[in-house]
Amino acid sequence: MKRRNSLLIVGALGLGAGVTLPCTTTAQSTARPAASPARLDHRELAADQQVIHVLNRLAFGARPGDVQKIRALGVDKWIDQQLHPEQIDDQSIEAFLNHYDILREDQGQLLQEYAVAQRDRRLVKRQAGDTTQGPGGVSREDSMAFQQIQLKRRQVGGQLQSSRVARAVISNRQLDEVMTDFWLNHFNIFIQKGPPEAYYLTEYERDVIRPHALGKFRDLLEAVAKSPAMLFYLDNARSMVDSTRPRLASIDRNQRFGPLGGQLRRVDPGQAQQIRQRLNQLQNGGLNENYGRELLELHTLGVDGGYTQKDVINVARALTGWTIKPPAQGGGFIFRPQMHDAGEKIVLGHKLAAGRGIEDGEDVLDIVSRHPSTAHFISEKLVRHFVSDNPPKALVDQAAAVFMKTDGDIREVVRTIVTSNEFFSQQAYRSKVKSPFEVVVSAMRAMGAQPDSTPRTAQVIAFLGEPIYGHQAPNGYPDTGDAWMNAGAILNRINFGMSVAANRIPGARINEVPGLDTLLSASRAKQVDAVVSLMLGGSVSPDTRAVLMSGENPLLASGAPAPAPAAPEMAAQPPNNEMMQQAQGAQNARNAQNRRLQQGPSPQRPQGNPLAGRNGAVPQLNGIAQVVGLALGSPEFQRH
Amino acid sequence: MQRRAFVKSGALALVTIGLSPSFLRRTAFGAQMMQAPKGKTLICLFQRGAADALNIVVPHGDKSYYGLRPTIAIPRPSGLSGTISRDAAIDLDGFFGLHPSLAPFKPLYDRGLLAPVHAVGSPSTTRSHFDAQDYMETGTPDVKGTPDGWLNRYLAVKGTCDECKITPFRAVALTQQTPRIMEGANEVVAMNSLDEFTVRATGSQVDRLEALYRTGSADLVHGTGTEMFEAVRMLKAANPQKYLPRNGAEYPRSQFGQRLLQIAQLIKADVGLEIAFADVGGWDTHVNQGSTNGQLAGRLDDFAQSIAALVTDLGDKMGDVVILTMSEFGRMARENGNGGTDHGHAGALFVIGGDVKGGKVHGKWPGLEQDQLYEGRDLALTTDFRSVFSEVTARHLGATKLDKIFPGFNAPSSGWLGLV
């Protein structure tokens, strides 16, 4: 922090040398205090800037032709369309999603297969009186079958990540994708929490987040609260009544019970003893406050939202019994009265009477979703996301008022924010630093790229620091620029730009970009104009333009015709097919990440750099590829 | 030192592509001479997966140990003192011994450079890798959602000293992504390897890219980018890769060994490294972990040979270096039905360095009898990991304000083990 400040000061002094630039005002906004309460009375941005701005913030950047389309339609009409994604035709992404065969399978079924296979395998090994001499007792066929199931589990994760990128790259429902990204980050889940999480996440994204992304906050909150993904991630599935408190229903030890259900009958005596031990632990209680705390702190009221530790405990008590069916039964939400605390609770001043069951938790969701602190907290996060790292207070208040008035209608809150004068202010324009996801997706869109059905592009995003479903802590990725900016991050972003220009990223070919494909032998100035318009919002500072201009176009000098498209370096791995082999190969990095948690990085094999080409050769760029590489690596491209 | 020369050569490069150096802003680094602090370095090494402490620092003198582990226990050291056998524990003090794969540690122990700490770990009851690693890296057991890692908070606390500001390589993780332990507001660098910390472009393209960041507005992105080009240039000039292992040090070819080699190179290149981090996996030995040979022994071979090579290589510089190892928790006292061990509670770690009061196994031993075990199954905890981390950061690095580094941990320094 300290150092950052000194840097800004020294930098600013240096600037005194006489270079003053148009973008200085917007770019410095991150260092300013929040705007004064006096509200703007008009949209400061010119019409064309408004078009670029909505594409930057309500979409993941412009694809070739997007600017013209919105200009023709009108910015406000386009916003209104985007607020009703169900009315936007999205055939192309729907068709593309057919590539993700494993996501289309029944995840409960897959989880069940996994859990049963794992249990049987353990059982066989135990019965074989396993020794230290190697894999005893398991037949080759069983081992192979288990490996297949393991592989499939990893592919679920790979396809989930890949499909998130693909949707963001080509879906017409861009605001819906932005909101999905926002909520998945708000209600963060870590895919490596444990083996079942990947299966749970498929359903989480599809059935919990997406249907409510622009719906009612209360509905979204309940869907999350009942999702196995969240119940597992924040441990509510294990939370149960403390032994000192009344239990809603008694435990029948012979019945299937909790996550251990049905196991006792199938295991050897040694393991049965362990399970009984855990059963005893469960019976002796164990309130787990984890979800209760994060529900208040991160999902609704916010850390300063006015709740106490007592509220945390009582929320956790109210939610006891909200758990998951055993994986061997496919998972799924279940309320278990045996785990529920039947005592009276007081939550944020509301009394929950004794002796009730699942209603306790539902009442808590009513209370917290309609709390004024929640309206403020959610509105502030949305304003930070859409408008500025320093959310203008007046706009936050207005959005929060809409939240309260509409009973948490997310669509109306977002509409309020993205049609506000603050949204269309000079201070907001191109002031947000892109996240790695936004960097990669906006580059792909600018290139008019085809989506990548392999996990490769998602791995690039992970390499840039934002693995999808890979944030360990429940607070999600940061939404301010300072968090994404460090020397290593910029280095990787620059190298990413080079890789795109060198055709090293699937789906994007420099010679096929609409609007650039005709300029391969044009003058440098024409090339620069086209690239600036496509990738840098149509305008750059004179300095940046001077740098972009500082190179020759060898094709221009010789007057040669456009060359045959350079052989893509990815030729050995064409996108959209050979899913199986690719997923297998490309899963290596994913596996390495899995191992990092379970066991740490691979002891022997170095992890690959997804930006290095074959043999790690440095790309030799000239002509339009050079301009594109510079543009994508430029400071201007890091903002939107 | 050579810092100004770097900046100057950068400026010249810009002229060659037709841009006037009058565009150039001075940077934070450029404004000062590069002066690598001749300070202390802390190297943190994370054994991910929960290393089996009882077979690493072996309590061969505890009468319960061999009963708990009928097939995987490490046999008692042979009676003859001074003999090291591949088939038995290496005795340290008549009660504890090292796994035979840790033979490279024995001379360090004898020289007083290496201090094992036993029955140390997190007070949290969790047996989840996910949670426990999170707690050990944030330094806040049972508090999820702590935004930063404790090493990053250390940087903040110490952040006021002048010499800390001027090197981009003050805190370096040899990992693909910034590890949780280093996450936070202070600048850290994570890299897979030293040779990957480079702009992957040809010379003139690199110059153009740098010009894009050196000109234009003086904002966060431009500033950070300018810093990055400085850092890359600084690393190139320091050329750490030229420092070959000394004193006959032989690093294993493993990823872990090679990463420790690179940490040694950064130290020798005087780039101002204060905090280094690397991690190593393969410790989650539920099945067939082996005894004196086998899976765990293999991991320990790599672990010990890598660390011993680092110590040998750094030679006298170890006077300013402390290596601190850690793992999220220990494993069950009793072996399981698969010749392995399941997740447990307290574990063991090593503190190694010239400052270290080694030659002694630190920490109170809780015993392995049934009623001494935590929840009847695991090694009990007698030392909170934060006590060890606090002592090392305070005594070795001179950290103050430990309550900022380990919020919520109020144990007094009188309870420190006397490791450093």
Asked whether the predicted pLDDT for residue A23 surpasses 70, the reply is no
Asked whether the predicted pLDDT for residue A29 surpasses 80, the reply is no
The answer to whether the CB of A605 falls within 8 A of the CB of B254 is no
Where does the pLDDT of residue B25 fall: very low under 50, low under 70, confident under 90, or very high at 90 and above?
Answer: very low
Asked whether the predicted pLDDT for residue B237 surpasses 70, the reply is yes
Of A318, A353, A369, which closes a domain? A369
Q: By the CB < 8 Å criterion, does B288 face chain A? A: yes
Rounded to an integer, the average pLDDT of B206-210 is 95
- Least Cα distance to B166 among A2, A288, A114 occurs for A2
In terms of pLDDT, which residue wins out, A272 or A121?
A121
pLDDT given for residue B330 in this prediction: 97
Asked whether the predicted pLDDT for residue A142 surpasses 80, the reply is no
pLDDT given for residue A137 in this prediction: 53
Give the phi and the psi of residue A153 in degrees, each rounded to 5: -60, -40
Residue A188 and residue A304 in one domain: no
Q: In what order do the strands lie in the sheet with B383-384?
A: B189-190, B171-173, B275-280, B41-47, B321-327, B347-353, B114-121, B383-384
Burial B373-397 (b: 16+ CB within 10 A, else e): bbeebbbbbbbbbbbbbbbbbbbbb
State how far the Cα of A448 lies from the Cα of B224, in Å rounded to an integer.
29
Its sign, for the CA torsion B8, B10, B16, B22, is negative
Question: Across chain B, what does the average pLDDT equal?
Answer: 88
Rounded to an integer, the average pLDDT of B113-140 is 94
User: Residue type for A169, please?
Assistant: V
Asked whether the predicted pLDDT for residue A304 surpasses 80, the reply is yes
pLDDT given for residue A11 in this prediction: 34
B144-188 pLDDT, tens digit each = 889 899 999 999 888 645 554 568 899 999 997 789 999 988 888
Question: Is A611–B176 a contact, with Cβ atoms under 8 angstroms apart?
Answer: no
State how far the Cα of B11 lies from the Cα of A71, in Å rounded to an integer.
43
State how far the Cα of B363 lies from the Cα of B381, in Å rounded to an integer.
10
A313: Cβ contacts below 8 Å, ≥ 6 apart: A287, A289, A292
In terms of pLDDT, which residue wins out, A14 or A46?
A46
pLDDT given for residue A265 in this prediction: 53
Residue A115 and residue A202 in one domain: yes
**Residues of chain A contacting B282 with CB distance shorter than 8 Å:** 599-600, 603
A164-212 pLDDT, tens digit each = 999 999 999 999 999 999 999 999 999 988 889 999 999 999 999 999 9
Asked if residue B23 belongs to a domain, the reply is no
Asked whether the predicted pLDDT for residue A155 surpasses 90, the reply is yes
Asked whether the predicted pLDDT for residue A328 surpasses 60, the reply is yes
Asked whether the predicted pLDDT for residue B31 surpasses 90, the reply is no
In terms of pLDDT, which residue wins out, B83 or A310?
A310
Residue A96 and residue A224 in one domain: yes
State how far the Cα of A331 lies from the Cα of A233, in Å rounded to an integer.
14
Where does the pLDDT of residue A24 fall: very low under 50, low under 70, confident under 90, or very high at 90 and above?
Answer: very low
State how far the Cα of B384 lies from the Cα of B117, in Å rounded to an integer.
11
Asked if residue A8 belongs to a domain, the reply is no
Asked if residue B2 belongs to a domain, the reply is no
Question: Is A10–B283 a contact, with Cβ atoms under 8 angstroms apart?
Answer: no
The answer to whether the CB of A427 falls within 8 A of the CB of A25 is yes
Asked if residue A222 belongs to a domain, the reply is yes
Where does the pLDDT of residue A149 fall: very low under 50, low under 70, confident under 90, or very high at 90 and above?
Answer: confident
The answer to whether the CB of A571 falls within 8 A of the CB of B250 is no
Residue A150 and residue A260 in one domain: no
- Least Cα distance to B234 among B14, B27, B19 occurs for B27
Residue A184 and residue A114 in one domain: yes
Residue in B with minimal Cα distance to A542: B216
Asked whether the predicted pLDDT for residue A473 surpasses 50, the reply is yes
Asked if residue B22 belongs to a domain, the reply is no
> Given 3-state DSSP classes, what are the helix, strand and coil percentages for chain A, each rounded to the nearest 5?
55, 5, 40
State how far the Cα of B171 lies from the Cα of B173, in Å rounded to an integer.
7
Question: Across chain A, what does the average pLDDT equal?
Answer: 83
pLDDT given for residue A574 in this prediction: 36
Asked if residue A609 belongs to a domain, the reply is no
Distance from CA of B418 to the nearest CA of A (A): 30
pLDDT given for residue A259 in this prediction: 47
Q: By the CB < 8 Å criterion, does B200 face chain A? A: yes
Asked whether the predicted pLDDT for residue A602 surpasses 50, the reply is no
Measure CB to CB from residue B27 to each of A11, A126, A298 and give the nearest one: A11
State how far the Cα of B181 lies from the Cα of B277, in Å rounded to an integer.
9
pLDDT given for residue A567 in this prediction: 44
Distance from CA of A284 to the nearest CA of B (A): 13
Asked whether the predicted pLDDT for residue A28 surpasses 70, the reply is no
Asked if residue B3 belongs to a domain, the reply is no
The torsion of the CA quartet B4, B10, B12, B17, rounded to 10 degrees, works out to -170
Question: Is A7–B227 a contact, with Cβ atoms under 8 angstroms apart?
Answer: yes
Residue B369's domain comprises 38-199+246-415
Question: Is B27–A602 a contact, with Cβ atoms under 8 angstroms apart?
Answer: no
Interface of B with A in 137-176 (CB under 8 A): 144-147, 156, 159-160, 165, 168, 175-176
Rounded to an integer, the average pLDDT of B75-101 is 89
The answer to whether the CB of B227 falls within 8 A of the CB of B39 is no
Asked if residue A180 belongs to a domain, the reply is yes
Helix (H) or strand (E) holding B133: helix B129-138
Paired with A240 in beta bridges are: A286
Report residue A540 CA to chain centroid gap.
30
Rounded to an integer, the average pLDDT of B23-32 is 40
**Residues of chain B contacting A464 with CB distance shorter than 8 Å:** none
pLDDT given for residue A123 in this prediction: 72
Residue A240 and residue A326 in one domain: yes
Measure CB to CB from residue B288 to each of A24, A134, A481 and give the nearest one: A134
pLDDT given for residue A397 in this prediction: 98
- Least Cα distance to B224 among A454, A489, A272 occurs for A489
Of A196, A230, A264, which closes a domain? A230
CA-to-CA separations, A310 to A214, A293, A357, B308, in angstroms, rounded: 32, 10, 20, 51
Rounded to an integer, the average pLDDT of A379-396 is 97
Q: By the CB < 8 Å criterion, does B135 face chain A? A: no
DSSP designation for B337 = T
In terms of pLDDT, which residue wins out, B38 or B125?
B125
Residue A204 and residue A96 in one domain: yes
A330-343 pLDDT, tens digit each = 789 999 999 999 99
In terms of pLDDT, which residue wins out, B33 or B91?
B91
Asked if residue A359 belongs to a domain, the reply is yes
State how far the Cα of A185 lies from the Cα of A224, in Å rounded to an integer.
13
Asked whether the predicted pLDDT for residue A136 surpasses 50, the reply is no
Asked if residue B157 belongs to a domain, the reply is yes
pLDDT given for residue A605 in this prediction: 37
Asked if residue B234 belongs to a domain, the reply is no
pLDDT given for residue A311 in this prediction: 96
If one counts the domains in chain A, the total is 2
- Least Cα distance to B295 among B59, B72, B108 occurs for B72
A245-271 pLDDT, tens digit each = 999 988 665 544 444 445 555 555 555
pLDDT given for residue B291 in this prediction: 97
If one counts the domains in chain B, the total is 1
Where does the pLDDT of residue A223 fall: very low under 50, low under 70, confident under 90, or very high at 90 and above?
Answer: very high
Distance from CA of B241 to the nearest CA of A (A): 18
State how far the Cα of A213 lies from the Cα of A82, in Å rounded to an integer.
12
**Residues of chain B contacting A491 with CB distance shorter than 8 Å:** 197-199, 228, 232
Residue A293's domain comprises 233-369
Residue to mutate among A2, A5, A7, with most B CBs inside 10 A, is A7
In terms of pLDDT, which residue wins out, A130 or A204?
A204
Asked if residue A272 belongs to a domain, the reply is yes
**Residues of chain B contacting A499 with CB distance shorter than 8 Å:** 200
B268-308 pLDDT, tens digit each = 999 999 999 999 998 989 888 999 999 999 999 999 999 99
In terms of pLDDT, which residue wins out, A414 or A489?
A414
- Least Cα distance to A496 among A535, A457, A532, A470 occurs for A457
Rounded to an integer, the average pLDDT of B341-358 is 96
State how far the Cα of B7 lies from the Cα of A283, in Å rounded to an integer.
67
Of A369, A403, A436, which closes a domain? A369
The answer to whether the CB of B211 falls within 8 A of the CB of B13 is no
pLDDT given for residue A152 in this prediction: 87
Asked if residue A73 belongs to a domain, the reply is no
pLDDT given for residue A290 in this prediction: 85
pLDDT given for residue A366 in this prediction: 98
Alpha helices in A34-139 (DSSP H): 47-57, 66-73, 75-82, 91-96, 107-127
Q: What is the CATH number of the domain that holds B401?
A: 3.40.720.10
DSSP designation for A409 = B
For chains A and B, count residue pairs whose Cβ atoms are closer than 8 Å.
298
Asked if residue A253 belongs to a domain, the reply is yes
Q: How many helices (H) and strands (E) does chain A have?
A: 28, 4
B405: Cβ contacts below 8 Å, ≥ 6 apart: B139, B150, B153, B154, B157, B390, B393, B399
